[in-house]
A and B are shown apart, each in its own frame.
Chain A
């Protein structure tokens, strides 16, 4: 699953062995949900993407039906 990870600190910090510059945001993929940290904002983005894809699919479906 994909996660949007943001370093909340204004110093260089490591998260799961990955170095983050101050306030840096990275999109990372983890098999298991990463452990929460008070120094990082962790946002799961997989579901959102799926929802967006589902919405797009429905929109295309509707357009196809209307077109026909």
Chain B
């Protein structure tokens, strides 16, 4: 039976270029996708008409609210922290991440699915009467903000990932895909400098 809404759970996978998909759903409470507007201006003519002037699509921003225990993910495919996504990652304990001027590209995949056996947002999903899925992917973006807070007696981090709608060659950096009829939603390919998904 088809579901009424996507609710309660979703999967989040973040990959560095050339790196593994690291799962962050276990420490994340909310995720918001502010997909860039394809806006336009209007020019009013003297005849009372309106001319449409398109403006380039705005950037997309994904915001996470999460509860990490570490500064970053030193190793493995389970996300432990976010500060390394905005600066140079450290792969050894103790994890030490200093502010730097390095900007690294990442891919974020967010997937809702009724297949409870899937734990990776980049996995393939095969449709059945009880299985469907919706996935949003944003590649070649940057983590621009990691802000911890302790105002509610719990350490929470607000994280922002920002991505332009297109790369310099005009290829899409974001995509939304779903499966709710016979077929397979293919797994995302490994993220590299030349392959986005």
Q: Is the CB of B17 within 8 A of A11?
A: yes
Contact with B along A4-28 (1 / 0, CB 8 A): 0000111111111101001100000
Q: Does A65 contact B (CB under 8 A)?
A: no
A14 to B16, alpha carbons, bound, how many Å? 14
11 other A-B residue contacts (CB within 8 Å) besides A14-B88, A37-B92: A9-B18, A10-B193, A11-B19, A11-B104, A11-B105, A13-B16, A22-B17, A22-B18, A23-B18, A34-B92, A40-B91
Interface residues of B in 1-26 (CB under 8 A from A): 16-20
Contact B18 A38 (CB under 8 A): no
- Per a CB cutoff under 8 Å, which of A8, A10, A13, A37 touches B88? A13
Interface residue total, chain B, C-beta cutoff 8 A: 21
Interfacial chain B residues near A12, Cβ < 8 Å = 88, 102, 104
A39 at the B interface (CB under 8 A): yes
- Asked if B89 lies at the interface with its beta carbon under 8 angstroms from chain A, I say yes
C-alpha spacing A44/B7, complex, angstroms:
49
Inter-chain residue pair count (beta carbon < 8 A): 59
CB pair A39 B17 closer than 8 Å:
no
Q: How far is the CB of B156 from chain A (nearest CB, A)?
A: 26
How far is A13 from B192 in the complex, measured between Cα atoms in Å? Answer: 15
A19 engages B88 (CB within 8 Å): yes
- A17 in contact with B17 given A12-B88, A40-B91 (CB within 8 Å): no
Give min CB distance, A38 to chain B, whole Å. 5
Return B118 CB to nearest CB of chain A, in Å: 21
B17, B76, B77, B96: the one within 8 Å of A10 (CB) = B17
Residues of A within 8 A of B91 (CB): 13-15, 37, 39-40
